Amino acid sequence: MNTTKNLLTGAHFMNGDVACAEGAIAAGCRFFGGYPITPATEIAEHLSQRMPELGGIYIQMEDEIASIAAVIGASYSGLKAMTATSGPGFSLMQENIGLAVMTEAPCVIVDVMRGGPSTGQPTMPGQQDVMQAKWGSHGDYGIIALTPSSVQEMFDLTIEAFNLSETYRVPTLLMGDEIVAHMWEKVIIPPRDKIKIVNRKKPNVPPEKYMPFMPDEDLVPPMACFGEGYRFHATGLTHDERGFPRTSSSEVQSKLVKRLCDKIQNNSDKIIRVQEVMLDDAEIVVVAYGIVARAALSAIKKAREKGMKAGLLRLITLWPFPEKQVAKAAKHAKTIIVPEMNYGQLVREVERAAKETPVVFLSKLGEEPHTPQEILDVIRRNS
């Protein structure tokens, strides 16, 4: 192991929360604003030690509302910024997540999911926030959400979340679950020159000609930050390309909201990531994500050993939803199985994309995730 002041390179044995924190550091995050909450607190604890070593800023705010507000301000000041929370805190952040969408402030929000509603099961896993990730704030907008299934992915996808956030000027969500966040596994941290880092586009016009919300062809505006010599207006109100409020203009509202949605949807083929396992001839397709995908992988391997043609479509990107990938898998399948640790959330999107292919939902609530045998039993019944 080669330990440097900036980046811990080499092989490590760490839990998912710490891996997420180190992924943020590797991505260039230098501001963390948060509030302690199980099961995400270890992210804040680790960064409270690491940020001072890096010349970065760690601040514990008075609550989650203030935390995401501080993150937006830090982003506009030119820093890569992140917060981490769980279900109740994620609920409190929703209004300001909408502000980040409207002002196009790149930032990363980690939601380590636990059982809900309300304070629910603070120390137990869940997958009950995935629809809130897409629709939690009011209005129409595009959002990006990734979900890890291993401790290594807690590191890797945190970097990816920052890169996507910077590319599309959008808050990007990392939707982990308590088990992935708290399990300990081997993590490889590569040298800095092996890590892909993306930074936000900067304007190439003089300050007097700069319009902060004038998009390029990819629908993403270049971003000047506070203190860089550009004077501009940023607001959560409906605004034109200059940033000035135009709340009474239906034309401006339509143009703005369509762009906020389309800059994500039109680039979905570049954003979406899935893992396909034995899908070429699969008659039974399991669609899973997060910790449940690990049990699903074991189940389809056992099914193959028993002569059943099963395959796995693991969703790494939750939003934008991998509709094309689900439709492709459904085309030759006779049944799709969706195991989730909720009472029916992403399965609705799978049903929509699968069209005529029957979808079987396997719900599980509480502290115990699906076992491979439980998923295998459903595969057997539908083979």
Q: pLDDT tens digit string along 36-87?
A: 999 999 999 999 999 999 999 999 999 999 999 999 999 999 999 999 999 9
Q: Write out the two tokens for 334.
A: 């006779």
Rounded CA-CA distance 117/304 in Å is 38
pLDDT at 367 (0 to 100): 87
184-196 mean pLDDT: 97
Rounded CA-CA distance 349/95 in Å is 24
CB 35 within 8 A of CB 45: no
Return the domain boundaries, the chain: 2-194, 274-381
pLDDT at 5 (0 to 100): 56
Architecture in CATH for domain 2-194: 3-Layer(aba) Sandwich (3.40)
Tell me, yes or no, if the pTM score tops 0.85: yes
Using one digit for the tens of pLDDT, what is the confidence trace for 95-114? 999 999 999 999 999 999 99
CB 380 within 8 A of CB 284: no
Strand-pairing partners, residue 80, are: 29
258-270 mean pLDDT: 98
Residue 9 has pLDDT above 50, yes or no: yes
H helices of 280-345, in order, are 290-305, 323-331
User: Taking the CB of residue 317, how many other CB atoms lie within 10 A of it?
Assistant: 21
Burial of 355 (0-12, 13-18, 19+ CB in 10 A): exposed
Residue 7 pLDDT grade (very low, low, confident, very high; cuts 50, 70, 90): confident
Using one digit for the tens of pLDDT, what is the confidence trace for 284-313? 999 999 999 999 999 999 999 999 999 999
Return the closest-CA partner of residue 282 out of 313, 244, 305, 321. 313
144-164 mean pLDDT: 98
To 5 degrees, how large is the angle CA 238–CA 242–CA 245?
Answer: 30
Compute the half-sphere exposure of residue 158: CA atoms within 13 Å on the CB side of its CA. 32
269-277 mean pLDDT: 98
pLDDT at 115 (0 to 100): 96
What percent of the chain is predicted at pLDDT more than 70?
99
Burial of 154 (0-12, 13-18, 19+ CB in 10 A): buried
To 5 degrees, how large is the angle CA 132–CA 147–CA 383?
Answer: 95
State how far the alpha carbon of 204 is from the alpha carbons of 207, 211, 219, 223, 239, in Å. 9, 11, 16, 10, 22
Residue 365 has pLDDT above 90, yes or no: yes
The mean pLDDT value of the chain amounts to 96
CB 320 within 8 A of CB 268: yes
Residue 6 has pLDDT above 90, yes or no: no
pLDDT at 277 (0 to 100): 98
Residue 124 has pLDDT above 60, yes or no: yes
pLDDT at 2 (0 to 100): 39
**Is the torsion defined by CA of 290, 28, 269, 71 positive or negative?**
positive
- Exposure string of 264-275, with b = 16+ CB inside 10 Å and e = fewer, is beebbeebbebe
Return the closest-CA partner of residue 312 out of 173, 125, 149, 201. 149
Phi, psi of 288 (to 5 degrees): -150, 170
State how far the alpha carbon of 193 is from the alpha carbons of 153, 197, 312, 316, in Å. 19, 9, 33, 25
CATH 3.30.450.190 fits 274-381, yes or no: no
Rounded CA-CA distance 151/158 in Å is 11
